[in-house]
């Protein structure tokens, strides 16, 4: 079995709430789990909320001329749709994260304001469209990758799979599409729209409905956790029962 159980409240706190005791471990733990977990949450959302039961991450490279993204995601609604996906595990602690700490006591208006400010940290409005403020981090998702066999360029679309909670209008929507243009001074965008998925928003919505745990198929994380357990264990101080202290 490669399933891993995720504690929603603790995961959200780890990623989104500033904590000096966590900061030194954030990058290492995100490298261990972030990309795979975010993709699995995206697929879970498409299956359970959108009803796209055939959505799946494909094996093999998502690459084009001089660029490489994290994954291909195949879906099928009325016709095939192939998302070229770039994953970013940006959080309040790590590199690339917006310097905005989420609060568990936020009111709905405060949460909406947070979502808008978080969006504005990564995107700026240009007319009726948006562009990346930091194109070096995410701009390559707008470059056309070589489509997988069985698909054409017309079937493909870019998708930014992010941890960060964000939305241009402050709505608690984890999956949405916006018009996009190339960032100033960068290449011309080969797409006119960008689909965005926010793992944090999705988990927060589930947590607000009373969901405490979520089981996902995470084979790489599962293998890493098993290897760590084989290599290391917490040494109990002599005469101390750690479970009852």
Phi, psi of 223 (to 5 degrees): -65, -40
- pLDDT at res. 14: 87
Measured between its terminal Cα atoms, the distance across the chain in Å is: 33
Write the pLDDT tens digit of every residue in 20-52. 777 777 778 778 887 899 999 999 999 999 999
Average pLDDT over residues 229-238: 83
Residue 73 and residue 87 in contact, taking contact as beta carbons nearer than 8 Å: no
Task: List beta partners, residue 125.
Answer: 130
Do 175 and 50 touch, CB atoms closer than 8 A? Answer: yes
Question: Is 60 exceeded by the pLDDT of residue 126?
Answer: yes
The answer, as to whether pTM is greater than 0.75, is yes
Ranges of each domain in the chain: 3-224
| Cα separation, 199 vs 89, whole angstroms | 9
Question: 93, 71, 112: which is closest to 19 by C-alpha?
Answer: 93
Quote the pLDDT of residue 79. Answer: 78
């Amino acid at each position: 079995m490669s399933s891993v159980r995720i504690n929603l409240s603790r995961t959200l706190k780890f990623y989104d709430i500033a904590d000096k005791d966590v900061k030194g471990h954030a990058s290492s733990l995100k490298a261990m789990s972030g990309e795979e977990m975010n993709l699995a949450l995206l697929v879970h959302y498409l299956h359970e909320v959108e009803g796209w039961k055939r959505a799946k991450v494909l094996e093999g490279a998502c690459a084009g001329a001089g660029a490489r993204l994290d994954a291909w995601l195949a879906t099928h609604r009325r016709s095939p749709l192939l998302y070229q996906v770039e994953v970013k595990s940006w959080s309040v602690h790590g590199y690339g994260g917006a310097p905005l700490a989420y609060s568990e006591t936020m009111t709905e208006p405060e949460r909406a304001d947070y979502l808008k400010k978080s969006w504005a940290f990564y995107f700026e409005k240009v007319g009726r469209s948006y562009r990346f403020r930091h194109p070096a981090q995410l701009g390559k998702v707008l470059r056309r990758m070589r489509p997988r066999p069985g698909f054409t360029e017309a079937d493909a679309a870019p998708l930014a799979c992010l941890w960060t909670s964000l939305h241009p209008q402050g709505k608690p929507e984890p999956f949405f599409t916006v018009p996009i243009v190339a960032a100033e001074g960068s290449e011309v965008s080969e797409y006119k729209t960008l689909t965005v998925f926010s793992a944090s928003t999705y988990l927060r919505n589930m947590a607000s409905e009373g969901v405490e745990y979520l089981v996902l198929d995470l084979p790489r994380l599962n293998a890493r956790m098993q290897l760590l357990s084989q290599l290391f264990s917490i040494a109990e101080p002599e005469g101390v029962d750690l479970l009852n202290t």
